[in-house]
Amino acid sequence: QVQLVESGGGLVQAGGSLRLSCAASGRTFSTYDMGWFRQDPGKEREFVASIRRSSETTYHADSVKGRFTISRDNAKNTVYLQMNSLKPEDTAVYYCAASSRPLYSIQIRSTVDYDYWGQGTQVTVSS
Protein backbone atom coordinates (compact mmCIF):
# COMPACT_ATOMS: atom_id res chain seq x y z
CA GLN A 1 0.00 0.00 0.00
CA VAL A 2 1.27 3.46 -0.87
CA GLN A 3 -0.22 6.92 -0.44
CA LEU A 4 0.57 9.70 -2.90
CA VAL A 5 0.35 13.42 -2.21
CA GLU A 6 0.83 15.94 -5.00
CA SER A 7 1.92 19.55 -4.53
CA GLY A 8 3.24 22.46 -6.56
CA GLY A 9 0.22 23.34 -8.66
CA GLY A 10 -1.03 26.88 -9.07
CA LEU A 11 -1.78 29.73 -11.43
CA VAL A 12 0.89 30.74 -13.92
CA GLN A 13 1.01 32.84 -17.07
CA ALA A 14 1.60 31.26 -20.45
CA GLY A 15 5.30 30.68 -20.99
CA GLY A 16 5.94 30.22 -17.30
CA SER A 17 7.12 27.20 -15.34
CA LEU A 18 5.96 25.04 -12.46
CA ARG A 19 7.41 22.00 -10.76
CA LEU A 20 5.01 19.42 -9.41
CA SER A 21 6.04 17.04 -6.67
CA CYS A 22 4.49 13.76 -5.60
CA ALA A 23 5.51 12.43 -2.21
CA ALA A 24 4.93 8.73 -1.57
CA SER A 25 4.58 6.95 1.73
CA GLY A 26 6.09 3.55 2.42
CA ARG A 27 9.47 1.92 2.10
CA THR A 28 9.04 0.42 -1.35
CA PHE A 29 8.83 3.55 -3.49
CA SER A 30 11.87 2.50 -5.49
CA THR A 31 10.02 -0.60 -6.68
CA TYR A 32 7.15 1.35 -8.29
CA ASP A 33 6.85 2.62 -11.81
CA MET A 34 5.47 6.17 -11.53
CA GLY A 35 3.37 8.33 -13.81
CA TRP A 36 1.75 11.72 -14.19
CA PHE A 37 -1.67 12.14 -15.77
CA ARG A 38 -3.97 15.13 -16.18
CA GLN A 39 -7.67 15.68 -16.55
CA ASP A 40 -9.85 18.55 -17.66
CA PRO A 41 -13.49 18.61 -16.52
CA GLY A 42 -15.62 16.60 -18.91
CA LYS A 43 -12.62 14.93 -20.50
CA GLU A 44 -10.87 11.63 -19.98
CA ARG A 45 -7.75 11.44 -17.89
CA GLU A 46 -4.74 11.57 -20.19
CA PHE A 47 -1.16 10.41 -19.93
CA VAL A 48 1.52 13.05 -19.43
CA ALA A 49 4.73 11.26 -18.45
CA SER A 50 6.10 8.20 -16.69
CA ILE A 51 9.35 6.92 -15.26
CA ARG A 52 10.59 3.43 -14.55
CA ARG A 53 11.52 2.37 -11.05
CA SER A 54 15.19 2.42 -12.05
CA SER A 55 14.90 5.99 -13.41
CA GLU A 56 16.68 4.82 -16.55
CA THR A 57 13.66 5.08 -18.82
CA THR A 58 11.15 7.89 -19.15
CA TYR A 59 8.18 8.45 -21.42
CA HIS A 60 6.48 11.74 -22.32
CA ALA A 61 3.31 12.45 -24.24
CA ASP A 62 3.89 14.10 -27.60
CA SER A 63 1.95 17.16 -26.42
CA VAL A 64 4.49 17.87 -23.66
CA LYS A 65 7.70 16.47 -25.13
CA GLY A 66 10.47 19.05 -24.97
CA ARG A 67 8.60 21.12 -22.38
CA PHE A 68 7.94 18.75 -19.47
CA THR A 69 10.43 16.45 -17.74
CA ILE A 70 9.67 13.68 -15.27
CA SER A 71 12.26 12.65 -12.70
CA ARG A 72 12.40 10.87 -9.37
CA ASP A 73 14.45 10.81 -6.21
CA ASN A 74 14.10 7.38 -4.63
CA ALA A 75 15.94 8.52 -1.49
CA LYS A 76 13.21 11.12 -0.94
CA ASN A 77 10.31 8.93 -2.11
CA THR A 78 9.36 11.68 -4.53
CA VAL A 79 8.62 11.99 -8.23
CA TYR A 80 8.70 15.36 -9.99
CA LEU A 81 7.24 16.92 -13.10
CA GLN A 82 9.12 19.98 -14.30
CA MET A 83 6.83 21.95 -16.60
CA ASN A 84 8.30 24.70 -18.76
CA SER A 85 6.85 26.85 -21.54
CA LEU A 86 3.37 26.27 -20.20
CA LYS A 87 0.40 26.81 -22.46
CA PRO A 88 -3.27 27.48 -21.64
CA GLU A 89 -4.10 24.01 -22.95
CA ASP A 90 -1.96 22.55 -20.15
CA THR A 91 -4.60 23.68 -17.68
CA ALA A 92 -5.91 20.62 -15.81
CA VAL A 93 -5.82 18.72 -12.56
CA TYR A 94 -2.57 16.77 -12.49
CA TYR A 95 -2.48 13.36 -10.85
CA CYS A 96 0.41 11.23 -9.69
CA ALA A 97 0.09 7.45 -10.09
CA ALA A 98 2.06 4.39 -9.03
CA SER A 99 2.24 0.84 -10.31
CA SER A 100 3.52 -1.92 -8.06
CA ARG A 101 4.10 -4.17 -11.08
CA PRO A 102 6.63 -3.47 -13.83
CA LEU A 103 4.72 -2.02 -16.76
CA TYR A 104 5.27 -2.96 -20.35
CA SER A 105 5.72 0.03 -22.62
CA ILE A 106 2.25 -0.56 -24.02
CA GLN A 107 0.81 -0.19 -20.50
CA ILE A 108 2.69 2.94 -19.47
CA ARG A 109 0.08 5.31 -20.92
CA SER A 110 -3.01 3.51 -19.61
CA THR A 111 -4.73 4.60 -16.42
CA VAL A 112 -6.02 1.09 -15.70
CA ASP A 113 -2.53 -0.29 -15.12
CA TYR A 114 -1.71 1.96 -12.16
CA ASP A 115 -2.65 0.76 -8.68
CA TYR A 116 -2.49 3.97 -6.66
CA TRP A 117 -3.47 7.58 -7.31
CA GLY A 118 -3.05 10.88 -5.56
CA GLN A 119 -5.83 13.44 -5.06
CA GLY A 120 -4.50 15.75 -7.74
CA THR A 121 -3.20 19.31 -7.91
CA GLN A 122 -4.71 22.06 -10.05
CA VAL A 123 -2.59 23.75 -12.69
CA THR A 124 -4.05 26.80 -14.38
CA VAL A 125 -2.25 28.58 -17.21
CA SER A 126 -3.57 32.00 -18.17
CA SER A 127 -3.14 33.46 -21.64
Report pLDDT for 38.
98
Single-letter amino acid, residue 36: W
- CA dist 42 → 45, 48, 92, 118, 126 (Å): 9, 18, 11, 19, 20
Of 1-5, 10-14, 25-29, 60-64, which range is least confident? 25-29
pLDDT digits (tens, 9 = 90+) for 93-122: 999 999 998 888 888 999 999 999 999 999
Report pLDDT for 41.
87
pLDDT digits (tens, 9 = 90+) for 23-64: 999 878 999 999 999 999 889 999 999 999 887 799 999 999
